[in-house]
Chain A
């Protein structure tokens, strides 16, 4: 008798536990609950049918010197991204991805490549701030700051919308960053390939050898 109750109790215990927690390990693909993870099987690169002209931007680099984007990157493979240094997530990830991918290239190609980070928050991102931040990523990256309206207009020519940073009541500043890296060909100086923000270091590593030559990745 006692044994029977005991067994029943043990079964009950098991049943109880089952009803309390539907599963011990979270089911990754439980329908209806899991966040949909889009796994595009297409490539990271979007090759444009109609390439962008390189924006006519004359800004200030991290050394405080004038930098003429068209003139100083002419005939160079160039990657441009618009972001800001107070962005902890996508901006440093994007720049680090580019920096790490760049280092896989032969030395000569590394020297040829221009990676340009244009701030979308020039008030906070002074030449000094930009320089200090890029030092933590790659000192070869060209950091540019200047007048916000000029930067915004330059971004717009690449289809990138950025808003002027807004100071909230509590003092926090809300800035925006671009979502794309634009690759410019050394042959035409036109922006012909786009990369979204979920592009990984492996994607860039795979594509950079083609981009260096102005070829389609």
Chain B
């Protein structure tokens, strides 16, 4: 897992014959920061993002998984995109969708936004995104830096492979 980081440390040492120690120490201090933003706190990454090509230019849905490898929970508090005037997180309960203000990303856990459950709802679209395009989405968190996601637009019937049965 830390392959690339160890590689970087080796390169730093190899480049400088003298001051080897200094660079190694710097590497010690810098590595955890560069890799994860500190040993404490949420460590967030996003995977499996996609948007099914919407039916019209009025609204669209988006799905993704936020992975938190940190030891503290994070809270998704806001979403924005170049595609839409407003993006909200919607929860689906008993077939009814309701907007929600914030959603937790548990420590050492994940938040899954998926079809039929909690999802992103894009309203007031600036255009109708078509399959093959990409939509830029910014996720904002309490207690963590924002994460920018390049969300691919998939076919209207796309189902992630892990959801297939």
Contact = CB atoms under 8 A, between A and B. Distances in A.
B163 A26 contact: no
Q: Determine which residue in B98, B106, B165 has the highest number of CB atoms from chain A within 10 A of its CB, and name it.
A: B165
Contacts of B56: 132-133, 136
Contact of B69 (A23, A89, A96, A176): A23
Contacts of A2: 20-21
Nearest to B37: A20
A179 interface: yes
Interface in A66-125: 85-90, 92-93, 95-97, 100
A197 interface: yes
A200 B61 CA distance: 17
A136 B55 contact: yes
A50 interface: no
Contact of A89 (B6, B24, B67, B116): B116
Interface string B112-132: 100110010110000000000
A149 interface: no
Contacts of A90: 92, 115-116
B28 A16 contact: yes
A163 B39 CA distance: 48
Contacts of A21: 1-2, 35-36, 43, 69
A127 interface: no
B152 interface: no
A49 interface: no
Interface string A1-37: 0100110011011101111111111101010011101
Given A35-B110, A174-B98, A175-B96, A24 B2 contact: yes
B46 to A, nearest CB: 10
B109 interface: yes
Contact of A23 (B1, B92, B94, B156): B1
Contacts of B90: 89
Nearest to B5: A17
Contact of B96 (A5, A22, A26, A163): A163
Contact of B6 (A14, A19, A25, A174): A14
B21 A26 contact: no
Given A35-B112, A133-B55, A92 B156 contact: yes
Given A9-B25, A13-B9, A22 B59 contact: no
Interface residues of B, number: 58
A6 B13 contact: yes
Nearest to B63: A89
A9 B165 contact: no
Given A14-B6, A97-B157, A33 B99 contact: no
B31 A34 contact: no
A54 interface: no
25 contacts: A2-B21, A5-B21, A6-B21, A10-B24, A14-B6, A14-B9, A16-B31, A16-B39, A17-B6, A20-B32, A20-B39, A26-B45, A26-B69, A28-B162, A34-B110, A35-B112, A88-B54, A88-B59, A88-B61, A88-B122, A136-B54, A136-B56, A137-B55, A176-B95, A201-B159
Interface of B: 1-6, 9-10, 13, 20-21, 24-25, 27-28, 31-32, 35-36, 38-39, 43, 45, 47, 52, 54-56, 59-61, 67, 69, 90, 92, 94-99, 106, 108-110, 112, 115-116, 119, 121-122, 156-157, 159, 162-165
